[in-house]
Amino acid sequence: MAVTQIAAFMSLLDVSIVNVALPSIERGLGASAASVQWVVSGYALTLGLVLVAAGRLGDTLGRRRMFLIALSAFVVTSALTGAAPTMQLLIVARLLQGIAGGMLIPQNSGLVQDLFRGPERGRAFGILGATIGLSTAAGPIIGGLILSAFPGPDGWRWVFYVNVPIGLVGLLLASRLVPATTRAARRAAHLDLVGALLLGGGVLSLLFPLVSADTGDLARGWPLFVVAMLLFAAFAWWEGRTVAKGRAPLLEPRLARTSGFPAGSGIGLLYYIGFAGIWLVLALYFQAGLGYSPLRSGLSVTPFALGVAASAAIAGRLVPRFGRRLTVFGLGATIVGLAATAIVLLHVQGDAAGWAVAAPLLLGGLGAGMVTSPNMTLTLQEVPVSMAGAAGGALQTAQRIGSAIGTAVLAAVFYQVLSGTGFDYQAAASDALLFACAFMVLALLMAVAELVLRRPRHLKQPALGQAHMHHV
């Protein structure tokens, strides 16, 4: 479990760690702000593109094998990214690194599904949830520390190089410690290539205009949203047809009827719309608005990261007892914490702002830790083991789409308020955080609705999974 978390932490850390390095990359390579933004956006795009297909490959080929292949690819692409001599090659390397990260992430949730049962699975998902939340929150801090340690014009390269020694150690340990898992039963020994292309095209059409929003392309990219909806509809039709022919689909249609999966995916989507964008907003406020260094800006959000780390692992152990109520309580605490942070930022500025937001950010982090890992457990607990990789990939895809939407929307709100108020950074940051809270309120309403409609369940071995294991 610990070995797989090294890989999960690295791959998700690279989503947020690069934000603080963008000015250094821009200066070091003499690139434009629009092209530098693709260092962040390109990684998020290709990562989200391959999650479900990579999860299905893990279901089909064996998760240990896919884990080792993906981790090896991530180490190589991290080295290529750090060594890139031009902006164009850097973007290409980041696109490839995103593919490797997208191959790696679903193997983690799939291995948890394979190797743990009952309440132990809840604890394992608690650790995975803590890793996911902490990697996103810790990115700005670790990025700031690396840039402080390597202050030269090429210091940004170590943001990528740091993955190489960690990944090599992870590879060595994984080859010795991660057990081979039984391959899922298959109706046909093939990957649903047409399904993968339809789903990949839909995700690409949805994410591309969103990750291009910072370069001003969102308005021109709206026709792609229509294309995305058509491709998703075609994907749903094709998967039903594939099942009817007795072949293995990319994403099993039964997941839509699996208890907890649809609601949990929706909660994850809405939560990440609010969650992902707050780091960009706070980084813009602290660095551009208050003149903080990247390290000081990262340290200012440390209380949130500490709150996530403290509560996520504990919350994973409490899922069997409290179920969806944990998600409801966690969302409520996160909303209160972020709303309080928005109010504090509106009234406190200068050096005192970083200290003044510590308590409300800690509260928000404690709540966030109770959202991520319990929601993952409740979403995947009744998914059959044979679908674990694809289902985990689908959940992560929903979260990555939410992250892309949130980053685009909150950045747009921030800049809109900034220009409309004569560069009032306090108002811009406060309004953007309140906007994030609005999406989390929607996630809270969805969680409450599921809690009311379904009687509280104790965590249990899924019936379909039991049938599958009996068959094996």
| 388 in the same domain as 358 | yes
Tokens of 8: 């999960």
What per-residue confidence (pLDDT) applies to 307? 87
Q: Are residues 158 and 299 in the same domain?
A: yes
The CB density around residue 46, as the number of other CB atoms within 10 Å, is 20
Residue 132 has pLDDT above 60, yes or no: yes
Structure-token pair, residue 322: 């409290």
145 & 283 share domain: yes
pLDDT at 468 over 80: no
Cα separation of 417 and 56, whole Å? 43
Range among 42-46, 173-177, 333-337, 447-451 with highest mean pLDDT value: 333-337
The model's pLDDT over 164-197, given as tens digits with 9 standing for 90+, comes to 998 999 999 999 988 876 554 444 446 678 888 8
Residues 244, 254, single domain; the answer is no
Q: In this structure, are 315 and 425 located in the same domain? A: yes
How many angstroms separate the Cα of 311 from the Cα of each of 129, 271, 278, 366, 458?
Answer: 10, 17, 19, 5, 20
Q: Is residue 114 part of a domain?
A: yes
Do 86 and 152 belong to one domain? yes
Residue 459 CA, chain-centre distance (Å), reads 24
**What's phi and psi for 384, nearest 5 deg?**
-60, 145
Give the chain's domain count. 2
HSE of 58, CA atoms in CB hemisphere, 13 A = 37
Helix axes 302-322, 324-347, angle to 10 degrees: 160
| Residue finishing a domain among 214, 230, 249 | 249
- The Cα–Cα gap between 391 and 341 comes to 35
Q: In which band, very low, low, confident or very high, does the pLDDT at 212 lie, cut at 50, 70 and 90?
A: low
Q: What mean pLDDT comes out for the span 302-315?
A: 82
The answer to whether residues 290 and 243 belong to one domain is no
Neighbours of 393 (CB within 10 A): 32
At 42-93, the pLDDT tens digits run 887 888 888 888 888 888 888 888 999 999 999 999 999 999 999 989 999 9
* 361 within some domain: yes
- Measured between its terminal Cα atoms, the distance across the chain in Å is 24
pLDDT at 442 over 50: yes
Overall pTM surpassing 0.75 (yes/no): yes
Q: Give yes or no: residues 308 and 323 share one domain.
A: yes
CA-based nearest residue to 7, from 121, 174, 130, 137: 174
Domain end (from 249, 264, 296): 249
Does 415 lie in the same domain as 356?
yes
Residue 214 has a pLDDT of: 55
Report the alpha-carbon distance of residue 291 to residue 123 in Å, rounded: 41
- Calpha distance 410→441 (Å, rounded): 15
Q: Please say whether the beta carbons of 298 and 112 come within 8 A.
A: no
* 207, 233, 249 - which closes a domain: 249
Tokens at residue 205, please? 């059409």
Query: Which residue range(s) make up the domain with 115?
Result: 2-178+250-471
278 and 375 fall within a common domain: yes
Residue 186 inside a domain? The answer is no
Task: CATH number of the domain at 408, please.
Answer: 1.20.1250.20
Q: Are residues 225 and 349 in the same domain?
A: no
Residue 465 has pLDDT above 70, yes or no: no
In-domain check, residue 183:
no
Q: What is the pLDDT of residue 89?
A: 93
> Is 184 part of any domain?
no
356 & 231 share domain: no
295 falls in which pLDDT band (50, 70, 90)?
A: confident
Quick check: is 187 in a domain?
no
User: Residue 213: what pLDDT?
Assistant: 60
